[in-house]
Amino acid sequence: MVADIGARPAARRGRVKAAGGALHGERRRLYLPLLLPALIAYLLFFVAPSIFGVVLSFAEWSGLGTEFSWVGIANYAELLSSRIFLSSFLNTVLLTLIVGVALFLIAVAAMVALRTARAGAFIRSAVFLPFMISPIAVGLAVSFLFNPKGMVNSVLGLAGLDALRQPWLGPELIFRVIMVGVVWSAAGFYVVLVMSAVDGIPPSLYEVARIEGASLIQQFRYVTLPLTRDMIAIAAALWAIAGIKTFEIIIAFVGTAGTPPLEARTLAVEQYLRVTGGRVGGMAQLGEAAAIGVVMTAITVALIVLSRRIQRRDRLEWS
Amino acid sequence: MTGSARLRTAEAFGASAILLIRAGLWLWVLFNVAMVLWVMLNSVKTSRSIFADPVGMPDTWMWENFATAWSTSGLGAATLNSVILVTVSVALIMGLSIPAAYAVARLGGRSSGPVATFFAIGMSIPFQAFAVPMVLISVGLSRFMIDWVTGAWDPRITVALFYVVLSLPFSVFVLIGYFRSLPSELEEASALDGATPFRTFWQIMVPLAKPGITTVAVLNVLSLWNETVIVLMLVPNQRMQTLNVALLNFYSNMQYTSNWGGLFAGVVIVVLPMIAIYLWFGRRIVNGMTQGIGK
């Protein structure tokens, strides 16, 4: 998603010209009719509304027929003085960082051990599976595992570990349980992503390393890691984009009837509650909700820029 | 400790670490398979035995869980909503993004790079930046249509509209990459044989790009089938909501119904089609999601 379009074989560039001048003109005439429907739909219903969202964050407006007034940075000031906003902001950053570190460690472990593992392809498909499944279903299943009478507590009871039985979904632990659920549903994707980069490394490099007596850990340190840095940077950016938006799995823990406890609210949840006025009734706060959207975009961009720093400066070339 | 002894210790440590990781990976695989089986088993249990015997086989096979979830709890109507919304949206997405991607990849000349980047930017903007304008457009659009044009409006049409535009960046971007990777010789040969550029596109290049097109279509089916937020924000009427939202409503009513078996039946209805697609397309989905993005 943060891909580099410039990194394409340059040989294609001169191709169109080779087809001849008249033909070239005829092909050019087809360009706009094919491109415009998608481009106009994208501009009109995606780009323009997104920009309008930024405008709205500096205004107070509840839609057509109501009065539009500029309020400057009042929406942002309101957010900054709101304890609920600050805690959901903190939760979002914490979730993105903690789950991000967990995903990174799991991906590294997989890079070390999965390349040479037997049935590696099968393992990859099986760990990828939860990523395909609706986060609502994942949230429902995980919250059921952890509910007071659920599987986790029953198993702990059966194992004689009654001391470890917890009210997992209580305010103190629920956010940690949610993070576990997020890791479970996302980790397979990142494992497969980094492994696709590992697959691109010529096997001869590992052979040389083996002949020179490098252990698997050393092979990881000196061959795999330097050659997969770009993919790790991409994975980090993708996780930043996805992690900031964490929403469905949290809603699935509480259902639509209630509102998630403060301890488990992310920015996306908080914005949803403000857009809809909350399920318990109340006024929609669109200006502030738009400001939350702008804040989330800013965090995402900042994290993408940070993740770009992981990338190599020089482009890899192998024949 | 001598140098070689230290080396040997490090090697032994490395080897055991790798064994440990592999064991962990297999446990993870086992857990995933067990979760799927557990959900499926719970869907045919009585609510009582789900709690009394969480890992055991069902004492009575409650196939009627599916019947009650399907009709009484409205998951049947929700499934229909999901199927129609996803089908219509994906058809429109492909209809818009295939020509656009071909144009950018093959006809654009100098402007194609910036246009591709312009589409790609859409992928990194979080949905929440878009949410408030989306709600306002939805309200405005339905009011406009009711007052001036058709006299009636269905919020599901608005949902389809936003499904389409929000899926365009990813679809166009991945298809551009795919069209660029195709050999240009056939295109030239067809042009020299007198085919119009449009015919070349439609009858030569689109069939050639079919594997990529299928992958993008399947990925869109997956993400839209699992989509929840947009329907939650735009469709207040429960009869018009999609499967995931219906499942949430079902869960919210649990304190009154206590129909846990039915809830798991609902989860199976949401999850099973995607698992089937995953088994069917397998590697192609995985490659499309990872390599298409990684490039």
pLDDT tens column, A28-66? 888 899 999 999 999 999 999 999 999 999 998 776 677
A271 touches chain B (CB under 8 A): yes
Q: Is residue A250 included in any domain, yes or no?
A: yes
pLDDT at res. B29: 96
B286–A125: do the CB atoms touch at under 8 Å? yes
Helix, strand, coil percent content, chain A, rounded in steps of 5 = 70, 0, 30
Q: Does CATH place domain B65-294 in 1.10.3720.10?
A: yes
Q: What is the pLDDT of residue A157?
A: 82
Please check whether residues A155 and A254 belong to one and the same domain. Answer: yes
Q: Cβ A35–B196 below 8 Å, yes or no?
A: no
Q: Do A65 and A213 share a domain, yes or no?
A: no
Q: Is A52 on the interface with B (CB under 8 A)?
A: yes
Average pLDDT in chain A: 85
The chain B residue lying nearest A136, using CA atoms, is: B244
Cβ atoms within 10 A of the Cβ of B275, count? 15
| Residue A46 in domain | yes
Interchain CB contact of A243 with B (< 8 Å): no
Domain of A235?
A: 75-308
Q: What average pLDDT does this structure show over A117-133?
A: 90
Could you tell me if A213 and A285 lie in one domain? yes
Residue A268 CA to residue A247 CA, distance in Å, equals: 6
**What percent of chain B clears pLDDT 70, i.e. is strictly above it?**
95
Q: Do A38 and B106 touch (CB under 8 A)?
A: no
Q: Which of A299, A304, A210, A275 is nearest to A56 (CA)?
A: A275
The C-alpha of B207 sits at a distance from chain A's nearest C-alpha, in angstroms, of 17
Q: How far apart are CA B133 and CA A136, in angstroms?
A: 25
Beta bridge partners of B210: none
The average pLDDT across B246-264 equals 86
* Rounded Cα–Cα distance for residues A300 and A278 (Å): 25
Nearest CA in chain A to B190: A19
CB-based contact (8 Å) between B136 and chain A?
yes
Token pair for B272: 């099973």
Bridge partners, A60 (sequence order): A69
Give residue-wise pLDDT tens across range A257-283: 667 888 889 999 999 988 887 655 556
Token pair for residue B61? 């096979």
The model's pLDDT over B3-31, given as tens digits with 9 standing for 90+, comes to 667 667 767 777 788 889 999 999 999 99
Q: What is the ipTM of this complex?
A: 0.88
Question: Residue A15's pLDDT is what?
Answer: 46
Residue at a domain's end among A10, A44, A70: A70
pLDDT tops 60 at residue A82: yes
- For A39, A126, B52, B62, the CA distances from B26, given in Å and listed in that order, are 46, 9, 29, 32
* DSSP 8-state symbol, A47: I
Tens digit of pLDDT for each residue in A164-193? 778 888 888 899 999 999 999 999 999 999
Whether residue A1 is predicted with pLDDT greater than 60 in this model: the reply is: no
A315 touches B at CB < 8 Å: no
Q: Is A129–B32 a contact, with Cβ atoms under 8 angstroms apart?
A: yes
A279 in the same domain as A170: yes
CA dist B75 and A176 (Å) reads: 31
Whether residue A170 sits in one domain with residue A64:
no
Count CA atoms within 13 Å of residue A85 on its CB side: 19
Q: How many angstroms separate the CA atoms of A2 and B88, rounded?
A: 28
Residue B45 CA to its chain's centroid (Å)? 29
Does A11 have pLDDT greater than 50?
no
Best mean pLDDT range from A142-146, A241-245, B88-92: B88-92
Beta strands in chain A (DSSP E): 59-60, 69-70
Within this chain, do residues A236 and A115 fall inside the same structural domain, yes or no? yes
User: What residues of A are in contact with residue B21 (Cβ under 8 Å)?
Assistant: 109-110, 112-113
* DSSP-assigned letter for residue A149: T
pLDDT tier at A19 (50, 70, 90 boundaries)?
A: very low
Check CB contact under 8 Å for B233 and A272.
yes
A199 shares a domain with A100: yes
- Total domain count, chain A: 2
Q: What pLDDT does residue A3 have?
A: 41
What is the pLDDT, as a whole number, of residue A152? Answer: 84
| Averaged pLDDT, B218-245 | 93
Q: Which residue of B lies nearest to A284 if distances are taken between CA atoms? A: B132
Chain pair A-B, CB pairs under 8 angstroms: 311
Chain B interface, best mutation among A26, A31, A152, A267, by max B CB count within 10 A: A31
Q: Of A42, A70, A98, which residue is a domain's last?
A: A70
Angle in degrees, 0-180, between the axes of helices A120-132 and B3-42, rounded to the nearest 10: 50
A16 with B106: Cβ contact below 8 A: yes
Reported as a pLDDT band with limits 50, 70 and 90, residue B259 is confident
Q: Where do we find the tokens 């550029």? A: B197
Q: Are B218 and B285 in contact (CB under 8 A)?
A: yes
Selected residues 233-262 of chain B with any CB under 8 Å from a CB in chain A = 233, 244-245, 247-249, 251-254
Segment among A125-139, B145-159, B177-191 with least mean pLDDT? B177-191
- Per residue in A194-249, pLDDT tens? 998 898 899 999 999 989 888 878 888 899 999 999 889 989 999 999 999 999 99
Tell whether A196 and A57 lie within a shared domain: no
- Both A185 and A40 in a single domain? no
Domain identity same for A202 and A56 = no
Please name the amino acid found at residue B109.
G
Q: Is the pLDDT of residue A23 over 70?
A: no
Residues 6+ away with beta carbon under 8 Å from B145: B151, B152, B153
Q: What is A210-224 written as a DSSP string?
A: HHTT--HHHHIIIII
User: Is residue A137 assigned to a domain?
Assistant: yes
pLDDT beyond 50 at A13? no
Residues of A in contact with B108 (CB under 8 A): 31, 35
Q: Does residue A315 belong to any structural domain of this protein?
A: no
Q: List, in sequence order, the alpha helices (H) in B226-259.
A: 229-234, 243-252, 254-257
- Domain-wise residue ranges, chain B: 3-42, 65-294
Is A231's Cβ below 8 Å from some Cβ in B? yes
Three-state DSSP at A59 gives strand
In this structure, how many other beta carbons lie within 10 angstroms of the beta carbon of residue B62?
22
